[in-house]
Structure 1
């Protein structure tokens, strides 16, 4: 996480830059000494115009090299006075590539990686070496990748690469753990080595060539695995009744986009429009999200968050919420109405607010490209994207808790119909009731 955080802090420096620009273009806010008042005023100097966007956001470009083994080395070198660096290895091995007989493999290997190696016989030896450098070593697993990374002083980058190569190529697993995880293997070994901070690309490439020599030569890569076993979104539901839970947990999801899909940016803006809310924060009526205001005003939930998860070839988009069981029906109706509204009625104010939030807290991409793509999103883009991914599309529902008030899956599916069809259905139902 730390390795990517160094890259993902997209606008960490912008508040500081803005303060500098403001100071340069505004008079001194402190009172002028009396002696200075007796002097003739100096000629007024016009403030220099702010630097062009390309200068404000000029950050080091990433360099990429591919070794004969297929291993990719990516570095992003920061100014020479930077003393820290983050070094990581990204392996395309996550839960989506596992079969029923190997479920949990990637996560197990992540946890076992620090148990010792041939040169570092146990976890204690490895821990002492890392602590003596004042470094941090960690790992995490996602659905598509397993990541091992270290945050170190710049002069310790070679040692960090040596440690990472050792734990990945020469791990030692205790016999009992191996017995618990029989048949465990990593089929996919397509890696990305990434480093950011005070690093030299050519030096990192040479070190990786020397250290990472024991990886599998299996030519199968993640793209081929996805093509052989494509992810297919199916409208369905999972309900787990639990009368002991005071709150119900509910997730409503639609098929989303991949990272490379042009719709990924509009979906991120939609995610920002829908927003998130938590009763403990107490924003309520002050929230820019219409959904958050509706939930707060109606006292319908304890928390709500919108998720937009992108994968290599597909995605998942929706809302997760926790609520008291007796509010589930009204909460579900409000959520589905908000989903549908975005396909037909969205204001430029909402879109502008969402764009601004994304520019502050968005995802990694070359800055100018990301800003341009976000700025290109308008009301029409939002409505077209919502229609494409929500209207008349399958929906997946997962819930756990006391669910007697949760509508059936067929109801959720009917709520994805267009406004015209929805209006006709309501008129028909009202006529029947009368």
Structure 2
């Protein structure tokens, strides 16, 4: 069971006691979504700079101190969050907290280190560009959320990386690293009361107020359209399709998680064939439709993307998309209680397996505190999943999938990818026949209608 405390300086503290080793981290409500066109990439740049020395510790002494503890210090940046965390022995927890508080409050951000780190980030960008899955999802965000903060990449454009300076970094810290936007999470061999005292000692100087207007993330609209990067020299096509999903705290999110689990994933290299439980996996194996696919449900504060990413031969793209549409329409119209029960069991199993160890537990605590304002107990989450039935899935999926405008991103030999503008002239309708259904194309002004307004029903 996790224990929560709101400290006097508005920083939230949550702990879960379990083992002799511990993980402690800072989850900050700040990521690339809180940037603009001119400073896009500053949150990620700051993540790199935060370990380059403080007013109390040089970079060398910081690295030696962490190594002598046998600890691990790391960080990552996403579109809505920045995380700094340390893994250490429980006896070294005070020292780990001292280091974490020092790096976010007293980093020197030296000019020489900034110039050196530009090259590191540019090389990282080159590595990212070789990972086609990351490239596809960056493209998908860029078109689905075009003209909004979520459409920007986390690393930022090359020109920004070359021009971000010390003032940009300090301004980002002073604007976003405030008590109410920070969660201190810990798991493992942690005593909650002791951690409260240590937190007040090391983080008591973090301010809670703002000198000027409080920064608020702008609403991000979802736009259905496509982006295609055709390269016939590539051996395989990489394609992602997504419709607008919902935010973390939306009441529909649990049903979409179950639907996402029902679609599932499959990889030819992992074995399994026509006898797989999932229909899309079985059809993919039997018909040689793709090399792999992965359903996804990406959530943000007020919006999300629900869809599928697949890798296939160029001549199989059209057949794969047809089968995906088939499965999506089944969710809206013809899914059975037996399938839903199987998906719910698998979802609960996956959620439990993801909490194996202090590291994923700490991650879960920090993320849920930022997203929900509390950590949802497992019995409550289990009950929410159990409440989903076939009718719930049909209703929710009809709302989010049927007659909605998808975003499509594709890279590789994609000549066979159906033309988006041609598809806009066709409307897919669902007709149920004796427990099965067919997809019948009929003339329509537009299959891709306007995106409906967001719902903000609380999951809490």
Q: Does 1:408 align with 2:419?
A: yes
Q: Do the aligned residues in 2 keep the contact of 1:83 with 1:153 (CA within 8 Å)?
A: yes
Q: 1:221 to 1:403 in 2, by over 3 A?
A: farther
Q: Do the aligned residues in 2 keep the contact of 1:253 with 1:395 (CA within 8 Å)?
A: yes
Partners in 2 of 1:168 and 1:241 — Cα distance? 43
Q: 1:84 to 1:137 in 2, by over 3 A?
A: same
Residues paired across the two proteins, number: 363
Residue 36 (structure 1) aligns with = none
Q: Secondary structure at the match of 1:143?
A: coil
Residue 381 (structure 2) aligns with = 370
Q: Do the aligned residues in 1 keep the contact of 2:428 with 2:442 (CA within 8 Å)?
A: no
Picking from 36, 50, 57, the partner of 1:120 is: 57
Picking from 262, 287, 295, the partner of 1:306 is: 295
Q: Do the aligned residues in 2 keep the contact of 1:295 with 1:301 (CA within 8 Å)?
A: yes
Partners in 1 of 2:204 and 2:39 — Cα distance? 26
Picking from 184, 198, 221, the partner of 2:189 is: 198
Q: Do the aligned residues in 2 keep the contact of 1:188 with 1:220 (CA within 8 Å)?
A: no
Q: Does 1:243 align with 2:251?
A: no
Q: Does 1:172 align with 2:160?
A: no
1:316-375 deviation line (CA, Å, top 9, x unaligned): 110001111121111111111211111001122211111111111127531110111111
Q: Do the aligned residues in 2 keep the contact of 1:235 with 1:395 (CA within 8 Å)?
A: yes
Partners in 1 of 2:387 and 2:96 — Cα distance? 41
TM-score (norm 2): 0.74
Partners in 2 of 1:197 and 1:147 — Cα distance? 18
Could you tell which deviates more after superposition, 196-205 or 287-296? 196-205
Residue 447 (structure 2) aligns with = none
1:237-293 deviation line (CA, Å, top 9, x unaligned): 111122221111100001111111111111111111101011101212132110111
Q: 1:412 to 1:368 in 2, by over 3 A?
A: farther
Higher relative CO (Cα under 8 Å, sequence separation at least 6) belongs to 2
Partners in 2 of 1:230 and 1:150 — Cα distance? 33
Partners in 2 of 1:231 and 1:220 — Cα distance? 26
Partners in 1 of 2:258 and 2:324 — Cα distance? 17
Residue 67 (structure 1) aligns with = 7
Partners in 1 of 2:245 and 2:215 — Cα distance? 21
Q: Secondary structure at the match of 2:310?
A: strand
Q: Does 1:232 align with 2:221?
A: yes
Q: 1:345 to 1:170 in 2, by over 3 A?
A: same
Partners in 1 of 2:442 and 2:423 — Cα distance? 18
TM-score (norm 1): 0.78
Residue 382 (structure 1) aligns with = 393
Q: Do the aligned residues in 2 keep the contact of 1:394 with 1:413 (CA within 8 Å)?
A: no
Partners in 1 of 2:80 and 2:276 — Cα distance? 34
Q: 1:315 to 1:355 in 2, by over 3 A?
A: same
Q: Do the aligned residues in 2 keep the contact of 1:395 with 1:412 (CA within 8 Å)?
A: no
Q: Do the aligned residues in 1 keep the contact of 2:3 with 2:16 (CA within 8 Å)?
A: yes
Unaligned runs of 5+ in 2: 116-161, 355-363, 365-375, 445-460
Q: 1:69 to 1:345 in 2, by over 3 A?
A: same
Residue 137 (structure 2) aligns with = none
Q: 1:220 to 1:70 in 2, by over 3 A?
A: farther
Unaligned runs of 5+ in 1: 1-59, 430-434
Q: 1:131 to 1:125 in 2, by over 3 A?
A: same
Q: Do the aligned residues in 2 keep the contact of 1:390 with 1:416 (CA within 8 Å)?
A: no
Partners in 2 of 1:132 and 1:108 — Cα distance? 27
Q: 1:417 to 1:296 in 2, by over 3 A?
A: same
Q: Does 1:326 align with 2:337?
A: no
* Residue 164 of structure 1, CA deviation: 0.3
Residue 268 (structure 1) aligns with = 257
Picking from 63, 88, 106, the partner of 1:152 is: 88
* Residue 176 of structure 1, CA deviation: 3.7
1:288-299 equivalences under 5 Å are 288-299=277-288
RMSD: 2.5
Residue 335 (structure 1) aligns with = 324
